[in-house]
Amino acid sequence: MSRLLHELILEQADHRPDATAIVYRQTPLDYASLASLIQSAARGFMELGLNRSERVAVYLPKRIETVTALFGTALAGGVFVPINPLLKPEQVAYILRDCNVRVLVTAGNRAELMEPLLADCPDLHSIVLVDGPIWTTHAVRHLRFIAWSELLSSDTKRLPARGIDIDMAAILYTSGSTGKPKGVVLSHRNMLAGAHSVAEYLDNRTDDRILAVLPFSFDYGLSQLTTAFVVGASVVLMEYLLPRDVAAMVAREAITGLAAVPPMWVQLARLNWPAAAVDSLRYFTNSGGTMPRATLTALRQALPKTTPYLMYGLTEAFRSTYLPPTEIDRRPDSIGKAIPNAEILVVREDGAPCAPGEPGELVHRGALVALGYWNDPAKTAERFRPLPGQNPGLPLTELAVWSGDTVRMDEEGFLYFIGRKDDMIKTSGYRVSPTEIEEVLYSSGQAAEAAALGILHPTLGQAVVAVIKPLRDPFNESELIAHCKRHLPNFMVPLQFIARTTDLPRNPNGKIDRKILAEELRALFQEPAS
């Protein structure tokens, strides 16, 4: 059984060398070839002077070189840092500085955009370019630029292990919707435990073909690789463009597994799916937020042969819960129970367990709990805290992830997401979940996209404001207000509805960014200065 992340690929290459590991632009790459590439890349990184536990950043869209660089870094004993290709140079430079990146793998055009900022990245000594001509910068003389083909060593003999399973494997940066992004440090053990757990409940198998649409900088996106490789399945790489492109790719590549976040599912649910896609897609998964019930219903109608998995996770613990598909009709709003090899607690502020139905904070314990936030002991101490109720006979403290999310657990142990602590709306003395309001907005049939916000108000504390992108033009506000009044108590009905013709802002992982919207509307109820 694999102990280190890259061994997933090497073991598949030993047992099923001709099986397809990756498909990129309709060209398959088998496990033997991928194993050879990561061996070559690992030797190349070591020849560049990469030492054990040093960081390699990969700033690329999804392509063969991206996957090779990630797993080649792991084989070399380094720590890979996947950077969302949508990030701007200033955001990338922050990550390079924050975790002292030594090697950057990127494309020529991206490196040129980064050039003015490279002088502020003193730990960076090598930039590997996967395309374009090799160039040098006079601004940073210590930097070495090399071509990807030059990095790849001709020596593909298997390298000995350069670490153990508790060593750092990856640093994944959160989206940074509040302040600067935080680097979540994951060990090989974390990532392998997560891969085995998710593959178990999804029943992944060797003949699965998984579409990788989400960015690898997102733990949910990266897990499409690890869960596939743990069983020897195939991953089809895709950069997300339009919803219809996803459906077309599912049909063309006979995709069996598709993972996405709620805003993407809302769009995909409105499509007429090709017959080939309806026949091939075995399962789909949702994480990164609550899927509106109307969206789930539409997807199940459009994809009647496909099994839905509703999940909840956080980067600090990879994945926490899933709802068994057999329970969806009984409790479609539930996020399920703990995944295999994890335990989920619901606790009060003092750590005491909540009663059934009582809202509390979700706490995750087990092998998936990350190593903390890179170079940030204060935030690590806030989020990674002693396990509540630990046996007093144990002399060493077990750390768990205190999620910051409010949930409730029913009498049968099923969990229901209420909201993030910092997203909860406090209006007229009530604490209101924005996701509950958004569910009603989507069920109206008028909202293509929706976000509920709490905006500072002189008498209410916060006023509930709904921002929507209408599904149809013209937008019937009075009808939407009436719908909300039928389904929500008065204190939850939005005081104001704001319609936008453009998409709602998203963070780099594709989730609707309530923080940006709240900042835009911060002065909505403030009296103008005299």
The C-alpha atoms of residue 56 and residue 284 are separated, in whole angstroms, by 32
Say whether 175 sits in a helix, a strand or coil. Answer: coil
- Going by the DSSP 8-state scheme, the letter that residue 505 receives in this structure is P
Q: Which residues contact 266 (CB under 8 A, 6 or more apart)?
A: 292, 295, 442, 448, 449
Q: What DSSP letter does each residue of 111-162 carry, written as one string? A: HHHHGGGGGG-TT--EEEESSS-----SS-TT-EEEEHHHHS-S--PPPPP-
The C-alpha atoms of residue 364 and residue 465 are separated, in whole angstroms, by 32
Cβ neighbourhood burial of 168 (10 Å; 0-12, 13-18, 19+): buried
- Here the tokens at position 184 are 């979540």
The C-alpha atoms of residue 524 and residue 515 are separated, in whole angstroms, by 15
pTM of structure: 0.87
Identify the pLDDT of residue 176: 47
Identify the pLDDT of residue 262: 87
Q: Which residues contact 507 (CB under 8 A, 6 or more apart)?
A: 175, 176, 177, 513
Query: Would 32-187 and 240-371+380-419 be classified into the same CATH topology?
Result: yes
The DSSP element (H or E) to which 31 belongs, if any, is helix 31-47
417, 376, 397, 210: which is closest to 293 by C-alpha?
417
**Bond into 61 cis (ω within 30):** no
Identify the pLDDT of residue 509: 79
What is 32-187's CATH topology? Answer: Rossmann fold (3.40.50)
Give the total residue count for the chain.
530
CATH 3.30.70.100 fits 423-520, yes or no: no
Place of tokens 């950069």: 239
Pure H helices in 203-242: 219-231
Cβ atoms 189, 165 nearer than 8 A:
yes
pLDDT by 10-residue block (mean), the chain, 530 residues: 90 98 98 97 96 98 98 98 92 96 97 93 96 72 91 82 95 71 96 97 98 95 98 96 95 98 91 98 93 93 98 93 97 95 96 96 97 96 94 91 95 91 79 87 94 88 93 90 91 94 89 90 77
What is 240-371+380-419's CATH topology? Answer: Rossmann fold (3.40.50)
The C-alpha atoms of residue 480 and residue 467 are separated, in whole angstroms, by 12
The DSSP element (H or E) to which 401 belongs, if any, is strand 399-409
- For the chain, the domains span 32-187, 240-371+380-419, 423-520
The DSSP element (H or E) to which 252 belongs, if any, is helix 243-252
